[in-house]
């Protein structure tokens, strides 16, 4: 099975003659020229085939890579949309859905991975998949149909259905050696899974209906950029203080917030996503708070990370939720530190 679409720009492919030029040249050579057999096929048919292949290669070459290829697709409304929305296992909350004119529903390949191998938005993750595994099949499908963009959901033990959300990732590198496929995935956005009960098709790939979660919604616009920046600054301060308390108490149950500052983690995310358009973000001042919130999530332990990755929402709600959690963590660790010192 191919691991990537055929390479664009094969030598000479884009220099195929246009139909009108080919016909004119044939007329000069005589009417029989277009019908001269070549390995059993008329020359006119061969010219048309070459032209079609050239157009296909050019389209692949010019197609937007990664998430932009998926974003360019039109809205998908399945015939059973009402059934999907009413299905109690899908647990769709209509009030939480983003405007479909701004973030349309589209199907997308999805895989399940253990929590610590799921790349957060702004992170790179290097993984190995066996050829023929559900993960490899989904990667292959994404490369062929969606520019290498797919969803990665947290694999919750004993869960029958997909979680309410997952991370949208781009395949930035892929190689194959024997029966193993090496991939590098980059988290670029959060996705809301509309059809959580979707099962794999005959190709072995599950293609649930999804919606990209907008980072900036009416909530953020009404609050203003200053409020976003304020929440991000408060989060950075709490993150650093809790990390210091972790060092002093030796308690790392919630993850390791002491290994790097939130500013350092956010800067790494900024570099990883330098050329990526964040959903709903249209101002540079909005990017840092958005990336800071995702970087903070990546530092937490399994349970807290899963909470955010499996039930995604916009940036200000995420910042406030993180702040509240870190304020609680600060109080608990401060009490533990005083008990240790007393």
CA distance 173 to 15: 29
CA distance 6 to 20: 28
pLDDT higher than 80, residue 291: yes
- What percentage of the chain reaches a pLDDT higher than 90? 74
CATH, domain 67-212, list 1.10.10.410, 3.40.1370.10, 2.30.130.40, 1.20.1250.20: 2.30.130.40
CA distance 291 to 257: 16
pLDDT band at 297 (very low <50, low <70, confident <90, very high): very high
pLDDT in tens, 212-260: 999 999 999 999 999 999 999 999 999 999 999 999 999 999 999 999 9
pLDDT higher than 90, residue 102: yes
319 token code pair:
């910042």
CA distance 67 to 208: 16
pLDDT in tens, 116-161: 999 999 999 999 999 999 999 999 999 999 999 999 999 998 899 9
- Mean pLDDT (whole number) for 82-92: 90
pLDDT in tens, 37-56: 333 444 444 444 444 454 44
pLDDT higher than 80, residue 23: no
Spatial contact of 163 and 181, defined as CB atoms under 8 Å apart: no
Give the global pTM.
Answer: 0.80
């Amino acid at each position: 099975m191919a691991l990537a679409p055929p390479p664009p720009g094969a030598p000479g492919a884009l220099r195929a003659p246009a139909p009108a030029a080919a016909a004119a040249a044939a007329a000069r050579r005589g009417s029989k020229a277009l019908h001269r057999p070549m390995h059993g096929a008329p020359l006119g048919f061969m010219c048309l085939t070459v032209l079609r292949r050239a157009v296909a290669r050019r389209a692949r070459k010019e197609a937007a890579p990664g998430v932009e290829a998926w974003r360019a697709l039109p809205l998908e409304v399945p015939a059973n949309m009402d059934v999907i929305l009413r299905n109690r296992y899908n647990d769709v909350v209509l009030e939480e859905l983003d405007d479909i004119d701004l973030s349309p529903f589209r199907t997308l390949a999805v895989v399940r991975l253990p929590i610590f191998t799921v790349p957060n938005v702004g992170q790179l993750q290097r993984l190995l998949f066996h050829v023929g595994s559900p993960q490899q099949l989904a990667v292959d499908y994404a490369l062929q149909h969606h520019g290498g963009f797919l969803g990665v959901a947290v694999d919750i033990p004993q869960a029958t259905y997909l979680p309410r959300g997952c991370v949208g990732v781009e395949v930035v590198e892929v190689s194959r050696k024997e029966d193993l496929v090496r991939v590098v995935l980059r988290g670029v956005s959060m996705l809301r899974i509309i059809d959580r009960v979707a099962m794999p098709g005959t190709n072995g790939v599950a293609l649930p209906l999804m919606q990209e979660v907008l980072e900036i919604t009416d909530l953020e616009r009404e609050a203003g950029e200053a409020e976003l920046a304020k929440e991000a600054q408060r989060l950075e301060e709490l993150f650093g203080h809790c990390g210091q308390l972790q060092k002093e108490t030796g308690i790392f149950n919630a993850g390791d917030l002491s290994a790097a500052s939130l500013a350092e983690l956010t800067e790494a995310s900024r570099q990883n996503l330098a050329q990526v358009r964040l959903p709903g973000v249209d101002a540079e001042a909005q990017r840092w708070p958005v990336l800071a919130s995702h970087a903070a999530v990546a530092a937490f332990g399994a349970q807290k990370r899963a909470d955010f990755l499996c039930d995604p929402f916009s940036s200000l709600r995420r910042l406030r939720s993180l702040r509240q959690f870190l304020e609680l963590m600060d109080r608990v660790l401060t009490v533990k530190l005083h008990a240790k010192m007393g």
